[in-house]
Structure formats: C-alpha cells, structure tokens
Amino acid sequence: MTHTLHRRGDRENLSGDYIVFTMSAKGFNEEGSAEKMKEFLKILLKYHPVNFGDMITGNCYVKSAEEIWHNINTTSIIHAVFTDEVTVSKILQELRARDLGLSVVVTGIHETTEECCQEAGLQKHTVEHSMGIFGDLNRLPEEAVLQLSTMCGHAMVPANLVLRMVREIKKEKKSFQDAALELTKPCHCGIYNPARAEKLLRQLVPLMTYDS
C-alpha cells in the first residue's frame, strides 16, 4: 500500500500527475541505502519535478534542497512529482541504467505507467489500485474538493483549507498559483502536485458560491 494511491480525478486531469519514489527495505537493502537514495534524488532533480521531498525532512516548498539532501538516511522515502509521461519514461530509462538496487514506485494512470516501463525495458513487479472510499459517503466533501485534498495521501491538506483557498481567490487575496502552493506546503512528503492543483482550482472556483 502506498500513500500516493488515494488521488481522485478523471483521466484528463490525472494524465498530468505522476509520482516517482523509492525507499529501502529494512533487513534487505537498508545498509548503504542513504547514498543510493541521494543518487536517486540527484537523477530525479535533473528532470525538474514540480515538487519533491523526503518524508523525514519535508518537501521543497518548506525546506531547502540542500537540507533535504543532507538529511537523507536509510529510513528516508524520496519522492518527486512530474507532469508528463515522456519525462517519467526518461527517468525510468536512466534509473534502469544506473541500477541502484532500490525498489522504485511510479504512481499514475495504469496504461501510461505500463508504456513508460516498456519504453525503459522494464517489467512491473506489482500493480496496486485503490478501491476507493467505504462508509458513510454523504459525509465526504464534494468530489471537486476531494480531487485537491487527496493529493496528500496522509490527509495533511484538509477540505477546509481547500475551501479557504477558494474564498481567498474569489476575494482576489490570492492568485490561483499562490493558492496552489499554499495547498502544497502541508503535504510533508512532497507528493502534492501544485501544477495540477492550480488547474483544478481554476475549474473549481467559478463553481463555488463562497462569498465570506
């Protein structure tokens, strides 16, 4: 199970949302993994992610790249977010050539990630799929809000913060880009996609009637 599986949306807006991450397995390849994860992050940064981070230190919108880099250790989980499959395919090709000995997880539309693997000469080991939300669904926020909040798999971006950003945009206190970055910051791991968030806000704000 991965915290990146909870994302909601349609095929169109999820087509610009890909997360690539790695971690070590305790008792298997943990020893020496910190340096390998630093190399992993170095490779990812070459491709200009819209967000990145380590679950230990935080994301690049609240911590510097240098701080994230220096704090990587054997229990880190390194994440980066990208907006197109061509870049993901290139990353996988480079990771395959580098052969760091770490498991790599890619989250995105199944068919697209399959194509990326094939282009890189890789075969998927495991496929995970979220089965959705069970329980009293009437208590959930509306779907457009969930699409923004669920990009943080640890629920650090609450629905009320999304609605607050909507109000501040409507009052012209924040731009769409600034509001998207405000939603990105609480997602500690660095898996929130600010580019997708901005697009979703542009669709959501005209539909909402919050005036106060």
Q: Are residues 18 and 113 in the same domain?
A: yes
pLDDT per residue of the chain (212 residues) written in tens, 0 to 9 = 579 999 999 999 999 999 999 999 988 999 999 999 999 999 999 999 999 999 999 999 999 999 999 999 999 999 999 999 999 999 999 999 999 999 999 999 999 999 999 999 999 999 998 888 899 999 999 999 999 999 999 999 999 999 999 999 999 999 999 999 999 999 999 999 999 999 999 999 998 875 54
Q: Are residues 104 and 151 in the same domain?
A: no
Q: Are residues 79 and 47 in the same domain?
A: yes
- Residue 65 confidence (pLDDT): 96
- Residue 212 confidence (pLDDT): 43
Q: Are 42 and 103 in contact (CB under 8 A)?
A: no
Give how far Cα 194 sits from Cα of 33, 61, 189, Å: 29, 10, 14
Question: Which of 119, 153, 169 lies at the terminal end of a domain, its last residue?
Answer: 119
- Residue 211 confidence (pLDDT): 53
Residue 105, domain member (yes or no) = yes
Q: Are residues 35 and 83 in the same domain?
A: yes
Tell me which residue range forms the domain holding 64.
11-119
Residue 177, domain member (yes or no) = yes
Q: Are residues 63 and 142 in the same domain?
A: no
Question: Which of 60, 90, 119 lies at the terminal end of a domain, its last residue?
Answer: 119
Q: Are residues 40 and 68 in the same domain?
A: yes
Q: What is the pTM of this model?
A: 0.95
Question: Which of 65, 88, 119 lies at the terminal end of a domain, its last residue?
Answer: 119
The three-state DSSP-derived secondary structure of the chain is CCCCCCCCCCHHHHCCCEEEEEECCCCCCCCCHHHHHHHHHHHHHCCCCCEEEECCCEECCCCCHHHHHHCCCCCCEEEEEECCHHHHHHHHHHHHHHCCCCEEEEECCHHHHHHHHHHCCCCCCCCCCCCCCCCCHHHCCCHHHHHHHCCCCCCCCCHHHHHHHHHHHHCCCCCHHHHHHHHHCCCCCCCCCHHHHHHHHHHHHHHCCCCC
